[in-house]
């Protein structure tokens, strides 16, 4: 039986169990912060009757229903597609970006990964470049600004040649695709001990460095993007590879080596 | 001051990646030095009562090599200086990138990472190596430290050598110095910490300079560990070995198992 | 109250033969001179494929563009979740594809309820989309020779679908996003993320700006422009459980409707047959798996009602492969809506499987036995992994459980050939408009339409509008802006003032339940009437008992959600009303009263070959109390005459 069923009947809340299977009682320690400039703190909440089939965010939904019920403000957290592709969700779960599963976003993490009576610490991404907006919500616009400085091919609509005009070796296209799958969630920054955005930047630089379409702006792109990355206040890369482990779509640190290569090459040939 | 701005830019660079590349290049060059240093040390093992080693030392101090060695010393000093300075700068930048820490933080990397903890203590191991290096230079380069535990005549001899710093150190001098238990312990630790620094440093330098290939990088990571062991253990052998080898001036009542070194 | 209305609804389809209409249209457009473009401001709401592409293209042309999205970055828009691919009449595979074939397939797929000229134009520009995306660095799948690869999709007889593994939508959206950010760099576009459009400002009958709420500060902001482009996606979240993003909503479109834009064909919703079923009441959304699974999977339920045995323990003889039984020719490959309805029918009759009884099996054991697990893994590995991640079951060992879910809406704001709504200066793009898919959308066509509208249609027609109308500058201090702002504040204030006991989410779930039950895969008159009554009652209850936490001047997700649900509660009624009014079956709209003997949709071309466009007749800040006015745009088919489809 869930905690929700003890609520007044007016509040129809999740968890009234049309499903079977074990349920969990959990202690949640969640970072609450009113706004960017207010101090925050970890607050403790109890949830009961959490189905192991729930996703992590659905568990937070249940908590929020309970909080509304008690006239408390619900926990703010970012999310949108809830199928692991939009990159909007992402919190630190027991000190791990997106929780314990590899190549899994927070929305795709399921409660079956947890045990009854577990305590779960939930914190926002922490980085100087990602200020907290509220509770678990952070401002990742630094990523957009980095893309703005070069994460594109300068091609106007109407001037594109035929799609098959320039063949691209399949291997390159595949590698470019692998890099291009970055969802921009920020887990790399969150998990890095230096809060470095190297993996994010390298994914875009790699994608475009591997394709002939990216060639004309190759030198300018990498220099501008790295300069913006530094300006935003991200740390540098110490090659701990923690970002690769935390990345929900499996972007490889191989891309960071390519970023370094592209950058050093650009520096050497720039007049 | 403005006139030297170019020099500062050359050292400091204008980007995080540039700084890391400088750390990597200086690190790798120093690795090259470590290899040659270790090779030189291996002459100590040659069973010729230190003749080869002493000749090697003498050669390095000879007139025609003086300029080369002096140049190398300055070069090494610059490498080390830049390496350490940039390490401090980037560490400060990296710390500043996360002003508020996590209440809880865990790695998502499994046990497969052989070098796992090494990268977390690079600055610490680097500083320890720095301290050790200062001691080592005081002992071997400047010969500014004697040993009170040595027999009187030996102390005399060391003092005599001390009087002339330009005299190359001999195998006997070196062993005698390393026999001091405290010195021996410090050298042992210093060498092993250096090795540990290299477990991550050697591989990391390649990654920083843009080398990563799915076929070679796993081998490189293994090589990095092997290299770190060779260098770390390789140097660490000497302060241990010094206790088991006999040198001129050793008390005649040598342990029964010791090899006779006097004819 | 039905107005005959071709007088009001001017489709503005250009003259001339079908294949020359778009060129004729473009050739006679008014242009804005290059030096003058910077003097025009354009608002684009939404940053999905259509919105991002339009904002970027208009920026490239030299206009001043303001781009809005409610997410934290333009890159999050839900176009990103499209898996399969994008159609284009390139004929790279030399299998006889052509613009005409793509046009024909799309028109037929839409069950002859779309505007012929629009569909033809869509097919025409499809090839340019691929060129544009390749040039942007979109890493499409390629063959070893380095040329673009294609796959077949959705029953078409040619291979015309371009794809980037199972993440085509993501790659196309990131391509459009990159073009958008380039224009930000160039200073032509300014992006306003975390802004929710809450009203349209109409001055002298012309769309001139928007009111939005800054979701971070909670402050209201008004923006004026020379025209407004709406690219805010579909309204499938009215059903609560859908494959849409949680934030997807009808609010922006609904506000425009209340300001005078007609809403067309809201009852055209598409149900996708292969989604991961609901596991419990807490379920927040549904996840779609590519339809391609049906190529190798066999759909079945137990022969016996309420059979709770594990699927492996049910012998072959006690299984009902109902699609193969009913539709021997197409079997498991019948159209989406047919497969969906059949699954619902089986489950409603008590044959459903799983804890909820709302699922059917999709079994790969035969394919695995035939081709080996490795072959199946190569084809569907990522889908199998996704299924395993969500359900913790291994689809290589036991059959998947699937159930249909809402995943696209063909209806939307009514637009003419130039994508302009009934409010001059308000253009509607992508899924938010009703234009190109008729009553049913073909696979891999959503991405095509979004990008066609954004890159190749709207930029021209907006240019034409600005060149011809030269609307004067209006500032946000205009009385209409102030009035809209006050009305918005009052509406939001009303939500917070209720201070009831019931959560916003519970209302949304209940609304979704009503729509799903009565206005989902199969609809009938009694049910739709019941639904309308239930929705009205629920809406009344909402305004009495809803509890919204927090304050308006703050980051407040409860308040965001409340506003969206309030609009869904009004919109849901229109959806049901439209479904009630359209007494025929067509495409995704299945009226039980109108079906063939094979349970397929039976169109009534004599009476319903028209677009139903609804006009709001209440006051913008109030709820519709009387019936909205229905206007009909007749559909004529000059080139392709409608035929009845059959999958039997």
In this structure, is residue B145 part of a structural domain?
Answer: yes
Q: Is the pLDDT of residue C282 over 80?
A: yes
A11 and A105 in a single domain? The answer is yes
Q: Using pLDDT thresholds of 50, 70 and 90, give the confidence band for residue B39.
A: very high
Average pLDDT, chain B: 85
Which member of A234, A246, A260 has the closest CB to residue B97? A234
Q: What pLDDT score does B116 carry?
A: 57
Q: Does chain A reach chain C with at least 3 CB pairs under 8 Å?
A: yes
Measured between CB atoms, does A257 come within 8 Å of chain B?
A: yes
Which tokens sit at C285? Answer: 């959304």
Distance CA C134, CA C140 (A): 7
Of residues C160, C255, C336, C346, which has the active-site annotation?
Answer: C336
How far is C-alpha C487 from the geometric centre of its chain's CA atoms?
Answer: 28
Q: Are A183 and A255 in contact (CB under 8 A)?
A: no
In this structure, is residue A22 part of a structural domain?
Answer: yes
Q: Is the pLDDT of residue B162 over 70?
A: no
Distance CA B124, CA C68 (A): 48
The position carrying tokens 């439209």 is C578
Sign of CA dihedral C464, C469, C473, C474: negative
Q: Using pLDDT thresholds of 50, 70 and 90, give the confidence band for residue B163.
A: very low
Domain that residue B153 falls in: 14-95+116-241
In this structure, is residue A131 part of a structural domain?
Answer: no
At C191-247, the pLDDT tens digits run 999 999 999 999 999 999 999 999 999 999 999 999 999 999 999 999 999 999 999
Q: Are B238 and B51 in contact (CB under 8 A)?
A: no
Instruction: Look at residues A72, A92, A123 and tell me which one is the last residue of a structural domain.
Output: A123
**Of residues B13 and C623, more confidently modeled:** B13
Distance CA C313, CA B242 (A): 75
Residues 50-109 of chain C whose Cβ lies under 8 A from any Cβ of chain A: 53, 56-57, 60, 71-78, 80-81, 90, 92
Q: What pLDDT score does B169 carry?
A: 82
Contact B96 A233 (CB under 8 A): yes
Q: What pLDDT score does A164 carry?
A: 97
Domain that residue A22 falls in: 3-123
Contact A264 B209 (CB under 8 A): yes
Query: What is the domain partition of chain C in residue ranges?
Result: 272-406, 478-634
Q: Are C501 and C67 in contact (CB under 8 A)?
A: no
Interface test mutation site (partner A, options B12, B105, B115, B215, max chain A beta carbons within 10 A): B105
Instruction: Look at residues A90, A123, A156 and tell me which one is the last residue of a structural domain.
Output: A123
Which residues touch A184 (CB under 8 Å, ≥6 apart)?
A87, A140, A143, A200, C73, C75
CATH number, residue A191: 1.10.1060.10
Does the domain at residues C272-406 carry the CATH identifier 3.90.700.10? Answer: yes
Percent of chain A with pLDDT over 90: 91
Q: Is the pLDDT of residue A19 over 50?
A: no
CATH number, residue B22: 1.20.1300.10
Instruction: Provide, as residue numbers in chain B, all residues whose Cβ is less than 8 Å from the Cβ of A261.
Output: 209-211
Q: Is the pLDDT of residue A263 over 70?
A: yes
In this structure, is residue B251 part of a structural domain?
Answer: no
Q: Is the pLDDT of residue A113 over 50?
A: yes
Contact A155 C144 (CB under 8 A): no
At C385-437, the pLDDT tens digits run 889 989 999 999 999 999 999 999 999 999 999 999 999 999 999 999 998 99
Measured between CB atoms, does A105 come within 8 Å of chain C?
A: no
In this structure, is residue B252 part of a structural domain?
Answer: no
Average pLDDT, chain A: 92
- Kindly tell me the burial class for residue B136, based on how many C-beta atoms sit within 10 Å of its own C-beta (0-12, 13-18, 19 or more): middle
Which residues touch C623 (CB under 8 Å, ≥6 apart)?
C539, C570
* Closest residue in A to C92 (Cα–Cα): A164
Distance CA C575, CA C518 (A): 11
Instruction: Provide, as residue numbers in chain B, all residues whose Cβ is less than 8 Å from the Cβ of A97.
Output: 108
CATH number, residue A44: 3.10.20.30
Mean of pLDDT values over C576-589: 96
At B198-216, the pLDDT tens digits run 999 999 999 999 999 999 9
Tell me the three-class secondary structure of C203-256, residue by residue: ECCEEEEEEEEECCCCCEEEEECCEEEECCCCCHHHHCCECCCCCCCCHHHHHH
The position carrying tokens 């030189």 is B40
In this structure, is residue A219 part of a structural domain?
Answer: yes
Distance CA C387, CA C403 (A): 13
Least trusted range by pLDDT, from A55-64, A184-193, B45-54, C480-489? B45-54
Measured between CB atoms, does A112 come within 8 Å of chain C?
A: yes
Sign of CA dihedral C394, C80, A154, A267: negative
Q: Using pLDDT thresholds of 50, 70 and 90, give the confidence band for residue A7.
A: very low
At C214-224, the pLDDT tens digits run 999 999 999 99
Average pLDDT, chain C: 93
Fold of C478-634: Methane Monooxygenase Hydroxylase; Chain G, domain 1 (1.20.58)
Q: Is the pLDDT of residue A44 over 70?
A: yes
For A110, C291, C294, C409, C512, the CA distances from C274, given in Å and listed in that order, are 21, 6, 8, 17, 19
A153 and A89 in a single domain? The answer is no
Q: Is the pLDDT of residue B108 over 60?
A: yes
In this structure, is residue B31 part of a structural domain?
Answer: yes
H or E element: which one contains C574? helix C557-581
Neighbours of B93 (CB within 10 A): 18
**Of residues A201 and A16, more confidently modeled:** A201
Nearest in space to A242 (alpha carbons), one of B117, B83, B88, B25: B117
């Amino acid at each position: 039986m869930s905690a929700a069923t003890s609520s007044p009947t007016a509040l129809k809340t999740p968890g009234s169990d049309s499903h079977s299977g074990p349920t969990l009682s959990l202690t949640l320690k969640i970072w609450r912060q009113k706004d960017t400039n207010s101090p925050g703190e970890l607050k403790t909440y109890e949830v009961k009757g959490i189905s192991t089939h729930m996703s992590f965010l659905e568990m937070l939904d249940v908590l929020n229903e309970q909080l509304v019920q008690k006239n408390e403000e619900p926990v703010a957290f970012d999310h949108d597609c809830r199928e692991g592709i939009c990159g909007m969700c992402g919190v630190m779960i027991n000190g791990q970006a997106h929780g314990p599963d590899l190549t899994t976003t927070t929305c795709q993490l399921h409660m079956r990964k947890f045990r009854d009576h577990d305590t779960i610490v939930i914190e926002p991404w922490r980085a100087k470049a990602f200020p907290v907006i509220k509770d678990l919500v952070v401002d990742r616009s630094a990523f957009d600004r980095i893309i703005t400085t070069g994460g594109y091919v300068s091609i106007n609509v109407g001037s594109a040649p035929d799609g098959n005009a320039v063949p691209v070796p399949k291997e390159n296209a595949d590698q470019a695709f692998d890099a291009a799958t970055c969802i921009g969630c920020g887990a790399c920054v969150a998990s890095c001990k230096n809060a470095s955005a190297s993996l994010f930047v390298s994914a875009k630089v790699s994608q475009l460095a591997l394709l002939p379409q990216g060639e004309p702006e190759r030198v300018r792109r990498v220099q501008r993007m790295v300069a913006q990355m530094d300006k935003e206040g991200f740390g540098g890369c110490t090659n701990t590879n923690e970002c690769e482990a935390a990345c929900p779509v499996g972007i490889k640190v191989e891309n960071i080596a390519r970023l370094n290569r592209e950058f050093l090459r650009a520096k050497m040939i720039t007049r | 001051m403005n006139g030297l701005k170019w020099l500062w830019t050359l050292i400091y660079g204008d980007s995080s990646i540039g700084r890391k590349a400088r750390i990597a290049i200086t690190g790798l060059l120093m690795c090259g030095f470590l290899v040659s240093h270790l090779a030189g040390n291996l002459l100590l093992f040659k069973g010729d009562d230190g003749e080869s080693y002493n000749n090697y030392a003498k050669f390095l101090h000879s007139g025609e090599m003086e300029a080369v060695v002096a140049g190398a010393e300055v070069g090494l000093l610059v490498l080390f200086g830049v390496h350490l300075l940039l390490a401090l700068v980037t560490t400060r930048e990296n710390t500043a990138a996360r002003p508020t820490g996590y209440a809880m933080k865990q790695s998502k990397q499994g046990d497969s990472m052989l070098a796992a903890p090494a990268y977390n203590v690079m600055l610490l191991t680097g500083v320890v190596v720095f301290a050790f290096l200062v001691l080592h230079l005081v002992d071997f380069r400047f010969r500014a430290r004697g040993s009170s535990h040595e027999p009187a005549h030996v102390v005399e001899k060391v003092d005599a050598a001390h009087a002339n710093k330009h005299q190359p150190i001999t195998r006997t001098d070196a062993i005698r110095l390393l026999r001091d238990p405290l010195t021996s312990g410090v050298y042992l630790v210093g060498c092993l910490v250096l090795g540990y620094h290299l477990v991550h440093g050697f591989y990391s330098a390649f990654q920083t300079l843009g080398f990563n290939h799915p076929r070679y990088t796993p081998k490189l990571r293994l090589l990095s560990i092997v290299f770190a062991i060779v260098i770390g253990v390789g140097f660490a052998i000497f302060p241990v070995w010094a206790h088991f080898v006999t040198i001129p001036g050793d008390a005649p009542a040598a342990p029964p198992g010791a090899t006779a070194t006097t004819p | 109250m039905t107005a005959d209305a071709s007088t009001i609804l001017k489709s503005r389809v250009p003259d001339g033969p079908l294949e020359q209409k778009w060129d004729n249209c473009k050739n006679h457009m008014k242009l804005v001179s290059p030096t003058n473009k910077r003097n025009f401001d354009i608002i684009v709401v939404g940053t999905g494929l259509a919105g991002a592409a339009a904002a970027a293209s208009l920026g490239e042309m030299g206009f001043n563009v303001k781009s809005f999205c409610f997410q934290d970055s333009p890159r999050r828009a839900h176009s990103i979740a499209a898996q399969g691919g994008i159609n284009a009449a390139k004929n790279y595979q030399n299998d006889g594809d052509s613009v005409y074939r793509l046009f024909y397939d799309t028109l037929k797929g839409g069950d002859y309820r779309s505007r012929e000229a629009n569909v033809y134009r869509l097919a025409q520009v499809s090839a340019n989309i691929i060129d544009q995306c390749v040039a942007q660095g979109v890493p499409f799948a390629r063959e070893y020779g380095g040329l673009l690869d294609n796959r077949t999709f959705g029953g078409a007889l040619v291979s015309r679908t371009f794809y980037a593994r199972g993440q085509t939508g993501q790659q196309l959206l990131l391509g459009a996003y990159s073009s958008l950010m380039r224009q930000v760099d160039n200073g032509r576009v300014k992006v306003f993320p975390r802004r929710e459009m809450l009203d349209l400002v109409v001055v002298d009958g012309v769309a001139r700006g928007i009111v939005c709420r800054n979701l971070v500060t909670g402050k209201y902001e008004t923006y004026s422009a020379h025209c407004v482009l709406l690219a805010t996606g579909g309204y499938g979240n009215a059903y609560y459980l859908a494959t849409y993003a949680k934030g997807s909503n009808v609010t922006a479109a609904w506000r425009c409707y209340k300001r005078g834009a007609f809403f067309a064909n809201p009852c055209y919703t598409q149900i996708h047959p292969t989604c991961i079923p609901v596991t419990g009441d807490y379920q927040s959304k549904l996840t779609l798996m590519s339809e391609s699974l049906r190529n190798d999977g066999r759909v079945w339920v137990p022969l016996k009602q309420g059979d709770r045995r594990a699927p492996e323990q049910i012998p072959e003889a006690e299984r009902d492969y109902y699609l193969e039984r009913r539709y021997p020719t197409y079997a498991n490959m019948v159209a989406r809506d047919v497969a969906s309805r059949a699954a619902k029918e089986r489950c409603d009759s008590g044959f459903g499987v799983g804890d909820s009884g709302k699922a059917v099996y999709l079994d790969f054991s035969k394919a695995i036995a035939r081709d080996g697990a490795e072959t199946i893994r190569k084809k569907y590995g990522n889908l199998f992994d996704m299924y395993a991640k969500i359900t913790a079951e291994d689809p290589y060992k036991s059959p998947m459980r699937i159930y249909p879910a809402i995943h696209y809406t063909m209806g939307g704001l009514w637009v003419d050939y130039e994508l302009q709504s009934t409010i001059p200066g308000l253009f509607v793009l992508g899924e938010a408009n009703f234009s190109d898919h008729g009553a049913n959308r073909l696979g891999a066509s959503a991405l095509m339409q979004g990008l066609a509208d954004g890159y190749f249609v709207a930029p021209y027609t907006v240019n034409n509008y600005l060149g011809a109308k030269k609307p004067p500058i209006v500032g946000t201090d205009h009385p209409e802006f102030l009035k809209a702002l006050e009305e918005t504040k009052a509406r939001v204030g009303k939500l917070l003032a209720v201070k009831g006991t019931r959560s916003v989410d519970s209302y949304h779930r209940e609304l979704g339940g009503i729509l799903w039950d009565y206005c989902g895969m199969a609809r009938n008159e009694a049910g739709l009437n019941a639904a309308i009554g239930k929705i009205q009652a629920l809406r009344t209850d909402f305004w009495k008992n809803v509890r919204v936490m927090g304050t308006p001047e703050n980051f407040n997700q409860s308040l965001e959600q409340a506003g969206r649900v309030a609009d869904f509660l009004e919109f849901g009624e229109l959806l049901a009303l439209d479904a009630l009014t359209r007494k025929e079956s067509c495409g995704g709209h299945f009226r039980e009263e109108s079906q063939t003997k094979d349970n397929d949709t039976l169109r009534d071309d004599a009476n319903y070959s028209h677009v139903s466009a609804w006009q709001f007749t209440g006051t913008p800040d109030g709820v519709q109390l009387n019936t909205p006015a229905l206007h009909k745009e007749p559909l004529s088919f000059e080139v392709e005459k409608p035929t009845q489809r059959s999958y039997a």
